[in-house]
Structure 1
Amino acid sequence: MGISRKATAHWEGDLKSGRGTISTPASGLMQDTRYGFNSRFGDEKGTNPEELIAAAHAGCFTMALANALAEAGHPAESLDSRAEVDLSMEGGPTMSAIRLFTKAKVPGIDEAKFRAVADDAKTNCPVSKALSAVPITLEAELLS
């Protein structure tokens, strides 16, 4: 049996005027964090599914990259990543693009090797695999 992680969502009301909460009870990262139509499609404070997917993707990719660099004999000194998830409204809401950005300090690695390892981590991290229906790009910068 594999590992199972959980999050919960609660919603009251219709789509546009309703409100909900999302929680990650085990981690305590989010406890009844508010979300709703205007935090997803407007600029109201609160979270939304795309932001949570971006956080999960940034975290997963960064861990995969750290592991791949170490396995290649070049453990990272530091990795800073960001994910951006686009929600298109054409034909109904759909995730249309994901962009990963990372800046890395990795002693002793050349640019070509770093790029190859980063591209592999982008393709093979579990969240990238789960989101493979969405185009995913990567901008990877090797810092000196």
Structure 2
Amino acid sequence: MKRKASAVWQGGLQDGKGSISTESTVLKETQYSFSTRFENGVGTNPEELIAAAHAGCFSMALSAELGKANLKAERIDTTATVTLDKVDGGFAITSSHLDVKVKIPGADKAAFDKAAGDAEKGCPISKVLNARVSMTATLEN
């Protein structure tokens, strides 16, 4: 399976602008720029897109791991916070923290914790990140 996305950039780093599009057209010429990446401009940025991918991927991975434990969540609510730091004269994504709240009435806490840990290790986006991945998982009954 292969998925595609594209980006077009015009101009210099600080005065330029670009657009990002995905094969599915969910993003179609979505604006990004220096201000959307390093300030609070309107549009998206690569780190935000990685955070969205990590949150979505992890939620699906957790659902799969819960299924292996005969558990089914009513709701999995995942927020990924990606940190971009200045490193060695450049920038790097140094961490992605997953804050996960899961509603499974009557679930066994130990089974939930195991599923969450396995999902964190098994999530394909977690695997591709060359950064520290951490998680806080809360079971809501």
Structures share fold, TM-score greater than 0.5: yes
Partner of 1:127: 125
* Structure 1: 4+ residue segments shifted above 6 A: none
One-letter amino acid of the structure 2 residue matched with residue 112 of structure 1: A
Partner of 1:72: 69
Q: Any idea what the Cα deviations from partners look like across 1:29-74, whole Å, max 9, x if unmatched? A: 2111100111101111111000000000000000000011011111
Are the counterparts in 2 of residues 74 and 108 from structure 1 also a CA contact under 8 Å? Answer: no
The number of residues matched between the two structures is 140
1:4 & 1:123 partners in 2: Cα distance?
A: 22
1:16 to 11, 14, 17: 14
> Are residues 1:111 and 2:128 paired?
no
2:79 & 2:22 partners in 1: Cα distance?
A: 21
Partner of 1:57: 54
Q: Which runs of 5+ in 2 are unaligned?
A: none
Q: What is the TM-score with the length of structure 1 in the denominator? A: 0.93
Are the counterparts in 1 of residues 105 and 140 from structure 2 also a CA contact under 8 Å? Answer: no
One-letter amino acid of the structure 1 residue matched with residue 93 of structure 2: M
Identity of aligned residues (%): 45
Q: Which runs of 5+ in 1 are unaligned?
A: none
RMSD: 1.1
